[in-house]
Structure 1
């Protein structure tokens, strides 16, 4: 065994944690396999962290182990890395994912971490593996990595440009236990992030507003494969802002309609980048679900963090229901400027959307590294109540604001839950 790829788990396994196949790792695996490497993968979000499995991995003496981690899963990534190094210090450990891409220097301070992959991992891992296993190339020439030199000095190489997503092989889905995922057949439709710079999102920090979509023709090829050879019945287009380029979306919809069989799919986007005509076109091409980031029910808060209107939200949801598209609206509580009054406005708006047929997803605001909220927390009056990264899970409150104490926030959330009939996730 040459290479093992590991998806670090959340501390508490939940339905949300095993929602979808980790496409990033699956793409890295497919590129390495295409190059003739022997690759295996483990998603500990399915089983929960099991150090005996880590021990078994080390016994097979891989040359390189890559670990992917979000902020919430980073502490478990470190537990895995340290266990590996305790058993066999010769194994090279690479960590990637959002947390390492945002805080590469901090991550490299850990003795158990040898390298950090910053941003996209396919070409970076390919070149790094050639260096580590084949002895080809020089570390300083590998774009997108961070490493420690012989003196322990941390070096961060230049970021690489976004890859051409059409040139990549399909993700290596067979390396993962597909039957355990709620979304088995998720499809990546674009590389990079969202051009909007929402203050609570770290995507703009990681990708610097860059986005590179796959061609509609390339996506259709993968759709055909999933439906004809894999028996897929529903796919989810994994992109935060699927409808940002309407011309591109319409071309994809045209090609979907030309398929010899109907397909069903879902996506996520914003209410200000769809209209009734586009939604009708999407519905006629098999769109059955859309998740919209609404965030707040106070127009004052929306003006400061999202730039959408409540009227737009209501109109879009009404249109979706008319077109028989299942719709979900996601909210976050609290924002720095929230008061008891604005959160009670959110409560009323959530109830209105819920009664109109929208599913509601509500999370606690977590000021993730790289976000405007994290970088400007003092100025914004945000007090972070924990120094443990695994508590940045959006499932429980970890902040106080200049207007709201922790107790205020909990009481207001419970008020929303009781008033709307929502169920609180553990």
Structure 2
């Protein structure tokens, strides 16, 4: 029997016009368990405060869940204050990468009732059951942080990661103002990443475990949306869609076997990718691949634990370019071991990839997000935090200085690279 409680999921993003897939997954899981759910991406909708409050009043939710990243944490807290001032009885739960690693910081704010650490699907359902039916004590819900009756912050045991991702429902994309999004059919088919790059929190978020949906499960979602929704363009947002070669080949063979006329793109790593895989992906409709290169210095790449070969990376880029595929490459400046000379190598390589292979180049400033090795071991790496304002952690504004470069020098170099690109 459907549950009458209403649960509101609010997404906020300052970086991109892509649907908030994390809260969509949680919301879909809640719907599967009989809860009434609505989604709202405040970036996509660009609501005024009065419009937002009217929207909340009309839906009248019991709980509002908000996804928090480091760069939007301050805004999220302001949002919780806005909600609590207008609707003090609404329960607010925060989730997402930032509060997973910094739950105490979130719970220092009285407007935050709960923090869901890590994967939120099961935590959210169990919390609702505990609040509605007293079936569980809060202390028995894994992955939850909250203040007890004495005001002390309590962290329950970490929740075990969901291994059988095929058991989760497909993401319900029934979003408000869906037409705002650049790409409407975004799909995540795995969680985690086999890489251990020191600037990335993916492995820490996933407990160093890479899990994936089966090729058949992924194909079924694609096939349904293709045949019954008329969708042809898909983007896979896995950290590394190609991590498992067998699954990738099975998926591509299913696409070709059923003659689906689709176009898709994904993220990969050049230590995993091969010419054979590229051929199979291309024949199955893949037209674009994003690859993280991160530096033009092999020495720097080794020190940041990226573990790719620049020569192999260039060979693969050239191969994809010759096939007519679009290649997107990301670079980072300001690694803990970067010097002006190594950054010059990065600039030169980025320009080469752009000019010789038509690569779309993206450049960011090294940013120590909570949960990354870079953040946790910053003193050991000779990295100094020059800003503790989370709003500046946007990959554009330098927030660190290193043994070799000041914050001001990094900003100057970043502007130079933007002009060159």
TM-score, normalising length: structure 1: 0.93
Partner of 2:36: 38
Count of residues paired in the alignment: 413
- Matches of 1:401 and 1:282 in 2, distance apart? 40
Contact 1:54–1:83 under 8 Å retained in 2:
no
Partner of 1:13: none
Contact 1:81–1:112 under 8 Å retained in 2:
yes
Partner of 2:397: 396
Q: Greater shift after overlay, 282-291 or 400-409?
A: 400-409
Partner of 2:10: 6
Partner of 1:88: 87
Partner of 1:249: 248
Q: How does 1:97-116 map to 2 (within 5 A)?
A: 97-116=96-115
Partner of 1:300: 299
> What displacement does 1:81 show?
0.8
- Matches of 1:373 and 1:43 in 2, distance apart? 30
> What displacement does 1:374 show?
1.0
Q: Greater shift after overlay, 151-160 or 345-354?
A: 151-160
Q: How does 1:55-70 map to 2 (within 5 A)?
A: 55-60=53-58, 61-70=60-69
Contact 1:9–1:76 under 8 Å retained in 2:
no
| 1:189 matched to 2:189 | yes
> What displacement does 1:58 show?
4.3
> What displacement does 1:381 show?
2.0
- Matches of 1:273 and 1:349 in 2, distance apart? 21
> What displacement does 1:262 show?
1.9
- Matches of 1:417 and 1:88 in 2, distance apart? 44
- Matches of 2:55 and 2:154 in 1, distance apart? 29
Partner of 2:230: 231
Partner of 2:412: 411
2:51 to 53, 56, 64: 53
- Matches of 1:151 and 1:334 in 2, distance apart? 44
Calculate the aligned-residue CA RMSD, in Å. 1.6
Tell me the secondary structure at the aligned position of residue 161 of structure 1. Answer: coil
Contact 2:290–2:327 under 8 Å retained in 1:
yes
Deviation by residue 1:201-225 (Cα, 9 ceiling, x = unmatched): 0112211211210011111111012
| 1:383 matched to 2:384 | yes
Partner of 1:21: 19
> What displacement does 1:49 show?
6.1
- Matches of 1:239 and 1:213 in 2, distance apart? 9
Extract unaligned runs of 5+ from structure 1. 11-15
Tell me the secondary structure at the aligned position of residue 174 of structure 1. Answer: coil
> What displacement does 1:366 show?
1.1
Q: Greater shift after overlay, 108-117 or 162-171?
A: 162-171
Contact 1:187–1:235 under 8 Å retained in 2:
yes
Partner of 1:143: 142
Tell me the secondary structure at the aligned position of residue 170 of structure 1. Answer: coil
TM-score, normalising length: structure 2: 0.94
> What displacement does 1:228 show?
1.7
| 1:267 matched to 2:238 | no
> What displacement does 1:57 show?
4.2
- Matches of 1:59 and 1:152 in 2, distance apart? 29
Partner of 2:78: 79
> What displacement does 1:34 show?
2.1
- Matches of 2:64 and 2:234 in 1, distance apart? 30
- Matches of 1:17 and 1:399 in 2, distance apart? 24
Partner of 1:220: 219
- Matches of 2:56 and 2:249 in 1, distance apart? 48
Deviation by residue 1:260-303 (Cα, 9 ceiling, x = unmatched): 33211110011110111111111111111000000001121111
Give the 3 Å change call, closer, same or farther, for CA 176–214 of structure 1 in structure 2.
Answer: farther
Tell me the secondary structure at the aligned position of residue 271 of structure 2. Answer: helix
- Matches of 1:269 and 1:176 in 2, distance apart? 31
Contact 1:54–1:84 under 8 Å retained in 2:
no
